Chain A
Amino acid sequence: MGSPLESPGGIWWNRKVSGLEKSWVGLAVLTAIILFAWMIGWQQLGAQNPTGPTYSVAPENYQAQVQAYKDAATETEQGLVPAGEDVYIGARQWTWDGVPVVLEVGKEYRFHLSSYDVQHGFGLHRRDKLIEQFNLQVLPGYEWVVPITFKHPGIYDIQCNEFCGVNHRIMYGKIIVE
């Protein structure tokens, strides 16, 4: 008895379980509930969630949208200043379309993310404080609208963080927050 290589035999499901093991199972269940509840709670109340509406869009149509957005924006020495609260970014091998872009601190922008060709990754890094960074997936055929509000002025570097071909490593862009 007790060997994992032998059939336990008899009515093993009625055998006593040690008190400590029972308490541990209780703790495990409690942990599970807390983890789940916290995630849902943050989705309701927290300010950082990888969520937003997605629309189907053909890559060429999305590219046309980005062009229209660029035409409406103001060109400055630092980069594009968007006309409204929408910021369009198009990913393609191996550049970001629609950048550099100049944004205001504390203002909520609707970021539109999609790709013209293959899968890319929207990695965003605060240059002066690298621990502040996040990562979203960018897919061709889908336009993802994610609201973003920057808390601090500075340079934010966009880095493709999904392997997108042999020159993946050079795919960078810039957001300037003032």
Chain B
Amino acid sequence: MAFGLLKSDYGADGFRTCGVTGLKIHRSAEVPIKLFGLTAVVALIVGGIAALLVALTRWEAVGILGPPDFYKFLSLHAWNLLIFWMVFMEIAILYVGGPIVLGRRLPWSGLAKAGWGIMLGSALLIEYAILTTTPPDNQPLLTSYAPLQSSPEFYLGAILFILGAVIAALPFFWCIWQEKRENRGKTLPLVTFGAFITGIIAVEALVGGLVTYVPTYLWRIGVVAEIDAAWYRHMYWIIGHGSQQINLVAMITVWYFMTYLTAGAEVVSEKISRAAFILYLFFINMGAAHHLMADPVLSSQWKMWNTSYAVYGAVIASLIHAFAIPAGLEAGRRKRGLGGDTWFGWLRTAPWHDPGFSATVWSIVLFGFLGGITGVLMGQMQLNTLRHNTMAVPGHFHGTVAVGTTLAFMGLLYYVIKLFFNKDWVFEKLARLQPHLYAAAMSITAMAMMEAGIAYGAPRRDPVTVQIPGTDFNFAAAEPMYALLGVSAILAVLAGVIFIVVAVGSLLFGKEATVTTPVPLSLTGGDRPAHEYSMRGTMAMVLFFLLVFLLFYALDWMWLSRLWEFGT
């Protein structure tokens, strides 16, 4: 059965033509995409189970796990969802963005499979390390902050996983190299360009990871006598935050891809959108500094320059995509005569019943409002002290990763099932409901965490904050937020279960796909270029977004100004 899933009908040259996109798909690319995609879904399942246990512990009235088990499942939750689910998906996205979009073979496909094998083996080693951690070793959580030691197998697993990911990325880069050699002067398609930028940012992050974990492993096994806490933090966040920037850029590439595929979006300006990707390339890794704002050692000049990505280069990029993607949708649909000549008809008549589309749109909107706004607030040196290590931090990254990236990847997977596995969705009604339910539930989960953190200072990474042994202090005031977090997390996990049931059910029992997209991708409407169509609906929405951002910005600074005085 498992091998059957990896098969498709290819021609004698190993290619087949996609019935929807018209893309030429080669077996050497398609098989690894399926392998990486399926593995990512397994990590999503493991991480999702851990998520439920973690949430039901933070909902202290339920308090399902004691402290040692809480940290164990928190570590499993972090590594499976923030790393394994994401990185396996991202390698698949590189292969889609490179060989599939370019209509090429994936060169060195043996390396792709070797990379997959190493990543899978090392992921299992990390799971094993987490499950078998006993004192004096500590659970790594995501950060494994030295000098608090974790088990040697954990560091070794992390090193091998990084190596595996680099190996798996090499065929993608070689594919781009071949394309550029054979077609000199021909511009890469935007999705390929986005994937290429993702790949470069990924390798930067992964090299940072080796710089971190190799010396840390040597320290753990006794080869190196001491490890400096400030050095570790500085190095670790190259991969700690860098890996999340891979998610961001991969997600934005998926946004361009999916809005086009499901709703007929066009690129309104190649120049502006590509410039935004290049801003990411230059500046986004500086975001690693966001984690060091409340640290000693670093000067305020270092902090402000780095945390701002050199005067907000990466924020400008994100704001550009925040306009360009909905504008592409608006102009593309107006061009095709969809939705009439009104402000928002193009959006109202969009295929909201299509889970590929709804997942993508919720990902865009909620990433911006939940993850984006809080990220910029936390990234300001002074405001960071209000949120650092409180529940507001997981609130932020559930806004970016759990709502934004995860939804985008789910939307993509709905189409991977159709276009690559050639299967129709089973339980179609559930599939259509799923992105809406997940978006709503996970948004409330994230907002409950944000509120618990910012309004009550409730700590993250702490299973007991209401009846704390040894002190008469408590965070009982945050209990309504904990309850909200618990209930909404149950619903979000339920939405995740629906996704898994639909995805796995479709793969096993789905009928052969009768593939159509909700909109005609070939142009039926006007022949004017996209940038000449109205984008007023998009402009209204992004202005509203900016207004909301400024409101929260002002609120945060107001609270900070009321605080006791500190610093030089």
| Chain A residues in the interface with B (C-beta under 8 A) | 1-9, 12-13, 15-18, 20-21, 23-25, 27-29, 31-33, 35-36, 38-40, 42-43, 46-54, 108, 113, 115, 117-119, 121, 123, 125, 127, 130-144, 146-152, 155, 157, 159, 161-170, 172, 174
Task: Indicate if the CB atoms of A12 and B271 lie closer than 8 Å.
Answer: yes
Question: Interface size of B by Cβ–Cβ distance < 8 Å?
Answer: 112
Task: Indicate if the CB atoms of B535 and A42 lie closer than 8 Å.
Answer: no
Say yes or no for B493: interface residue by CB 8 A criterion.
no
- For B299, B315, B335, the residue with the greatest tally of chain A CB atoms inside 10 Å of its CB is B315
Q: What is the chain B residue whose CB lies nearest that of A17?
A: B269
Inter-chain CA distance A43–B315, complex, in Å, is 21
Inter-chain CA distance A146–B564, complex, in Å, is 12
Say yes or no for B386: interface residue by CB 8 A criterion.
yes
Inter-chain CA distance A46–B60, complex, in Å, is 38
Q: Which of B42-50, B199-207, B208-216, B554-562 contacts A (4 or more CB under 8 A)?
A: B554-562
Say yes or no for B268: interface residue by CB 8 A criterion.
yes
Q: For A52, list chain B residues within 8 Å (CB).
A: 296, 567-568
Task: Indicate if the CB atoms of A54 and B559 lie closer than 8 Å.
Answer: no
Task: Indicate if the CB atoms of A137 and B388 lie closer than 8 Å.
Answer: yes
Which of B135, B376, B470 is A35 in contact with, Cβ under 8 Å?
A: B376
Say yes or no for B225: interface residue by CB 8 A criterion.
no
**Chain A interface helix/strand/loop/mixed:** mixed
Task: Indicate if the CB atoms of B529 and A2 lie closer than 8 Å.
Answer: yes
Q: List 30 A-B contacts (CB under 8 A).
A: A4-B191, A4-B265, A5-B101, A7-B188, A15-B531, A17-B271, A21-B272, A25-B272, A32-B311, A35-B308, A35-B553, A38-B557, A43-B381, A50-B566, A121-B388, A121-B389, A130-B456, A132-B562, A135-B386, A139-B297, A142-B230, A147-B565, A147-B567, A161-B389, A161-B390, A161-B459, A162-B461, A167-B67, A169-B67, A169-B462
Q: For B348, list chain A residues within 8 Å (CB).
A: none
Say yes or no for B494: interface residue by CB 8 A criterion.
no
Task: Indicate if the CB atoms of B293 and A50 lie closer than 8 Å.
Answer: yes
Q: What is the chain A residue whose CB lies nearest that of B140?
A: A163
Task: Indicate if the CB atoms of B531 and A21 lie closer than 8 Å.
Answer: yes
Task: Indicate if the CB atoms of B228 and A141 lie closer than 8 Å.
Answer: yes
Q: Given that A35-B376, A52-B568, A123-B457 are known contacts, is A5 also in contact with B381, CB under 8 Å in the complex?
A: no
Q: For B304, list chain A residues within 8 Å (CB).
A: 36, 39-40, 43
Inter-chain CA distance A149–B323, complex, in Å, is 44
Return the CB mask of B445-485 against A: 1 if under 8 Å, else 0.
Answer: 00000000011110111111100111101010110000000
Which of A43, A147, A161 is B566 in contact with, Cβ under 8 Å?
A: A147
Inter-chain CA distance A159–B272, complex, in Å, is 47
Task: Indicate if the CB atoms of B229 and A119 lie closer than 8 Å.
Answer: yes
Q: Given that A140-B229, A142-B297 are known contacts, is A51 also in contact with B270, CB under 8 Å in the complex?
A: no
Query: CB within 8 Å of A: which of B355-394?
Result: 376, 380-382, 384-390
Q: For B300, list chain A residues within 8 Å (CB).
A: 43, 49, 51
Say yes or no for B332: interface residue by CB 8 A criterion.
yes
Q: What is the chain A residue whose CB lies nearest that of B477?
A: A130
Q: For B386, list chain A residues within 8 Å (CB).
A: 133-135
Inter-chain CA distance A97–B116, complex, in Å, is 49
Q: For A143, list chain B residues within 8 Å (CB).
A: 296
Inter-chain CA distance A90–B198, complex, in Å, is 43
Say yes or no for B516: interface residue by CB 8 A criterion.
no
Q: Given that A12-B271, A18-B531, A163-B461 are known contacts, is A7 also in contact with B187, CB under 8 Å in the complex?
A: yes
Query: CB within 8 Å of A: which of B514-568?
Result: 521, 529-532, 535-536, 538-539, 542, 546, 553, 557, 559-568
Inter-chain CA distance A8–B186, complex, in Å, is 9
- For B189, B265, B382, the residue with the greatest tally of chain A CB atoms inside 10 Å of its CB is B382
Say yes or no for B14: interface residue by CB 8 A criterion.
no
Closest chain B CB from A96 CB (angstroms)? 11
Q: Given that A135-B388, A137-B295 are known contacts, is A18 also in contact with B568, CB under 8 Å in the complex?
A: no
Q: For A159, list chain B residues within 8 Å (CB).
A: 459, 473
Task: Indicate if the CB atoms of B469 and A170 lie closer than 8 Å.
Answer: yes
Task: Indicate if the CB atoms of B568 and A141 lie closer than 8 Å.
Answer: no
Task: Indicate if the CB atoms of A51 and B473 lie closer than 8 Å.
Answer: no
Which of B147, B267, B269, B380 is A117 in contact with, Cβ under 8 Å?
A: B147
Closest 5 CB pairs of A and B: A49-B567, A2-B266, A144-B296, A133-B457, A32-B312
> With contacts A24-B542, A142-B297, A161-B389 known, what are 18 further pairs, Cβ within 8 A?
A2-B328, A8-B267, A9-B187, A12-B271, A18-B531, A32-B313, A32-B316, A35-B553, A39-B308, A42-B557, A50-B384, A52-B567, A131-B456, A137-B389, A150-B564, A159-B473, A162-B461, A166-B138
Q: For B532, list chain A residues within 8 Å (CB).
A: 18
Say yes or no for B156: interface residue by CB 8 A criterion.
no
Closest chain A CB from B347 CB (angstroms)? 16
